[in-house]
Amino acid sequence: MLLLQKCFFTKIVFHMNLAGRLQQLLRSAAPKRYYFEDALITTHNHSFVDDPAFTNAYARGLKAAGGKDWHNRWRVYLALWVARMCSQIEGDFVECGVNYGFTSSAIMQQLNWDRLGKKFWLIDSFAGIDAKQSTEQEKALGAVERSETNKRTGFYNSDAERCRANFSEWKNAHVIEGWIPDCLNQVTSAKVAFMHIDLNAVVPEIEAFKYFRSKLSHGAFILLDDYAYSGADLTFAGWSKAAKELNFEILALPTGQGLIHNP
């Protein structure tokens, strides 16, 4: 069974790479009424891609990533919308899995962060995933090996100081380097209005949610980056199980994200 799963995952990666190349071709050739990005193809209205406020925020994300564009504008658009809603709620912001800071930089740019008076806690190991926290299924599907490859190729940011330099233009931006959940006690906020979780490993993702759940403000949102994404079946299964056990609901989004609302 594990061999079949691994072969299935390899086929998914191949088809995702093929889809990515196809989408790149279509982006350059198709009329603007089509949206081809990030495994999402639609003719639904996506005028936000030309909105100056969005393009300015997205450009700041690109700057954080050294110009690398993963062509995930709709995903970032949703993160910006959720962050705007949460900016009106009591509490600070938390991101678990910062990498280069693409999404959080876009958020801080659009919200004119310093005027809000909120803290943004930016948490990452800067060392890939923790093999000790990987499930046996994740290991069998090569999660640890992919993490090491992602560090070598630079897909994962291994330089915490680079991340701190990126966020140095904003006060109240706090970069924490460490393994989740061990390092979470460094977050001093009593209330949390927004969480963005993108750890590429289901165990620490759920542990982060559990840690902050009692601190979530009424109306807070938690955005999961990979909940329903193609190839992330173990993440989907783990979060769906946790939702049943802990009595909360997750909205699966066509971008592959998941959204949790704290009533």
pTM of the model: 0.89
Strands (DSSP E) found in 153-211: 173-177, 192-197
| CATH number, domain with residue 180 | 3.40.50.150
Helix H, strand E, coil C: the string for 24-75 is: HHHHHHCCCCCEEECCEEECCCCHHHHCHHHHHHHHHHHHHCCCCCCCCHHH
Residue 196: closest CA among 103, 61, 263, 58: 103
User: pLDDT at residue 14 above 50?
Assistant: no
Look at residue 212 and tell me if it is in a domain. Answer: yes
pLDDT of 121: 98
The model's confidence at residue 34, banded by pLDDT at 50, 70 and 90, is confident
The model's confidence at residue 194, banded by pLDDT at 50, 70 and 90, is very high
How many domains does the structure of the chain reveal? 1
Look at residue 11 and tell me if it is in a domain. Answer: no
User: pLDDT at residue 181 above 80?
Assistant: yes
Contact 117, 91 (CB under 8 A): no
* Containing structural domain, residue 65: 51-261
Look at residue 46 and tell me if it is in a domain. Answer: no
Look at residue 6 and tell me if it is in a domain. Answer: no
Look at residue 44 and tell me if it is in a domain. Answer: no
Look at residue 2 and tell me if it is in a domain. Answer: no
Rounded to whole angstroms, what are the CA distances from 260 to 197, 227, 251?
11, 11, 7
Look at residue 4 and tell me if it is in a domain. Answer: no
Helix H, strand E, coil C: the string for 81-92 is: HHHHHHCCCCCE
- Token pair 């759940």 in the structure block, residue: 213
User: pLDDT at residue 15 above 90?
Assistant: no
Look at residue 5 and tell me if it is in a domain. Answer: no
